[in-house]
Amino acid sequence: MSKHFERALVIGGAGFIGSHLCEHLLGQGTEVVCLDNFVTGSPDNVAQLAGVPEFRLVRHDVTEPFRVDGEFDLVVGLASPASPRHYLRLPIETLEAGAFGTRNALEFAEKHSARFLLASTSEVYGDPTEHPQRESYWGQVNPIGPRSVYDEAKRYAEALTAAWFRSRAGDVAIARIFNTYGPRMQADDGRMIPTFIRQALAGDPITIQGDGEQTRSVCYVDDTVRGLVALAGSGHPGPVNIGNPHELCVREMAEQIRDLVGSASPIRHEAAAVDDPRRRCPDISLAKESLGWEPRVSLWDGLTRTIDSVRGEPIAAGR
């Protein structure tokens, strides 16, 4: 049975996934303190929670030591630029978030005897030679390429969290999050789905980097958050893949979004990004067996909700 948490510190909680996690935890009766420096996150993402008595927003950079009053039994480390546009603009800050930020979060969790959940990424697998990717796969990452600032920040954060578990018996868990999408993604952050939606809605050419045959496996944010909460409450140390095993190529994704929007946007190809993975798909056997978790939201439903949110239309409950 999954553990119920009384009070959680969500670091990076004003970001895309973090804001949805804050909402989910509050809905489960958990008091939430959201800590964010707003470098890539935004207070707007949690503005709907401003009047909730059990929610508190604190502006702070996790790479600097911090104190938050009260007791906590869950600490979630989500703080990091996550889109290529952001981490390429903030390379040093991204590496410091993985290193100093994770260290400070681990020390805070240890002080409070709290469970620590690290939000890692499928990027630790790099351009994989194993397919689909299992947690036992070590990955193939260029340690000095432009993407390395994010890949290696997360790989180091995992190594530090695992060392904390071994040397200090820390109550920790590592989640490897695969491509996640949904409402509150920044339309201009360079990630595939919000970019395609914005271009299709405007009638602009939909730009695909490379030939479009590279694959991705995308997971709707509600499913990702359920997976994170299941892992946090399980006692499992991880790493555990949290993602959707439904794989499709980038060209197919662009065409589906164009069709759902009802756009006549042409598709235009650009040069491929450096070190862009050719295939990306999680093996979620461990999540199914250990957490009882798997995605529920279909691609059509998730994309429809996301497009509606970009248009500013209300999202129907239960859709």
Task: Flag whether 2 is in a domain.
Answer: no
Distances in Å between the alpha carbon of 228 and those of 70, 209, 223? 23, 30, 9
Above pLDDT 90, what percent of the chain?
82
pLDDT in tens, 179-200: 999 999 887 777 889 999 999 9
Average pLDDT over every residue of 67-82: 95
pLDDT at 319 over 50: no
Decide: 124 and 177 in contact? Cβ < 8 Å. no
Number of independent structural domains in the chain: 1
Average pLDDT over every residue of 2-25: 96
Residue 1 confidence class, pLDDT cut points 50, 70, 90 = low
pLDDT at 169 over 60: yes
Q: Is 203 helix (H, G, I), strand (E, B) or coil?
A: coil
Task: Flag whether 315 is in a domain.
Answer: no
pLDDT in tens, 244-293: 999 999 999 999 999 999 999 999 998 888 877 788 899 999 999 999 99
Q: Which of 49-58, 184-193, 265-274, 307-316 has the highest mean pLDDT?
A: 49-58
CATH number of the domain bearing residue 66? 3.40.50.720
Degrees to nearest 5, angle at CA 260 with 259 and 261: 90
Task: Flag whether 214 is in a domain.
Answer: no
Which residue range is the domain that position 145 belongs to?
A: 7-181+219-244+279-296
Task: Flag whether 40 is in a domain.
Answer: yes
Amino acid type, 2: S
Task: Flag whether 309 is in a domain.
Answer: no
Q: Known catalytic residue: 150? A: yes
Task: Flag whether 93 is in a domain.
Answer: yes
Task: Flag whether 256 is in a domain.
Answer: no
Phi, psi of 263 (to 5 degrees): -100, 155
Cα–Cα distance between 78 and 97 in angstroms, integer? 9
In this structure, what is the dihedral angle of CA atoms 52, 53, 58, 63, given to the nearest 10 degrees? -90
* pLDDT of res. 317: 39
Distances in Å between the alpha carbon of 267 and those of 160, 173, 209, 212, 218? 43, 41, 11, 10, 20
Which residue in the list 87, 125, 150, 220 is annotated as catalytic? Answer: 150
Task: Flag whether 62 is in a domain.
Answer: yes
